[in-house]
Structure 1
Amino acid sequence: MAKRRCFALDLIDDAALIAEYESRHAPGAVWPAVLAFLEAQGVEAMEIWRTGDRLMMITRVSDDYPRTVAEAPEIAQWETLMWRFQRALPHAAPGEKWVEMQRIFAFGKAE
């Protein structure tokens, strides 16, 4: 059974960088190797939402996520490129990007 996980990250507060970050996540813009890597790890679905410079990523992952998968060289290149736009949350561990969020409230048929 798939599970939903949510993560947070901040962007550098610069309108031009934010616009470029969004364009790199437009339909068809994310590198195919990145999408294949996510799928191989067990990510079944992913959405990224933004307000101001704050991002929230919602994922649906398999029970065995994260699967151990060899990284293609493009993955490191993509991550390096993304650090150009991103900044770690103040409470993130050194080198940590996306910080998993803890659900504190649910209503209705939430997972």
Structure 2
Amino acid sequence: MKKYCLALDLIDNSELIAEYEKYHQNVWPEIRQSILDSGITNMEIYRVQNRLIMIIEADENFSFEAKNEADKNNAKVQEWEELMWKFQQQLPKSKTGEKWKLMDKIFSL
């Protein structure tokens, strides 16, 4: 089992943040399925102010490259991602169009 942690910011607007959270209370079934199909076994998103942290647990077959490729070819995932851009903003120093940034693990107990 592999574990990854990613970060992203939301637009700092309480109404948009509330709407974003509402979408995540009832994620579209096609999005859930695409996540599971990629080898992700558990995904959690946490928020403080407008900063999001995503924790992914995945099996040995998971890769970000394969997930990204599958997502590009999934119209429903593309629709979801386009919708989410309404609420999201890139972290400083991100590449154009880059959303979630993989975090470096710096401590483990």
**Do both share a fold (TM > 0.5)?**
yes
* Match for residue 80 of structure 1 among 72, 79, 82: 82
Note if contact 1:40-1:69 (Cα within 8 Å) is conserved in structure 2: no
Deviation of 1:79 (Å) = 0.1
Spell out the pairing of 1:1-111 with structure 2 (5 A cutoff): 2-26=1-25, 29-66=26-63, 67=66, 69=70, 71-107=73-109
Query: What is the identity, as a one-letter code, of the residue corresponding to 1:88?
Result: Q
TM-score between the two structures when normalised by the length of structure 2: 0.90
TM-score between the two structures when normalised by the length of structure 1: 0.88
User: What is the RMSD computed on CA atoms of the aligned residues?
Assistant: 1.2
Query: What is the identity, as a one-letter code, of the residue corresponding to 2:99?
Result: K
Structure 1 residue ranges without an equivalent (≥5)? none
**Any runs of at least 4 consecutive aligned residues in structure 1 with deviations exceeding 3 A, and if so which?**
67-71
**Paired-residue identity, %:** 41
Deviation of 1:69 (Å) = 3.3
Please identify which structure carries the higher helix content. Answer: 2
**Structure index of larger Rg:** 1
Structure 2 residue ranges without an equivalent (≥5)? none
Q: How many residues align structurally? A: 104
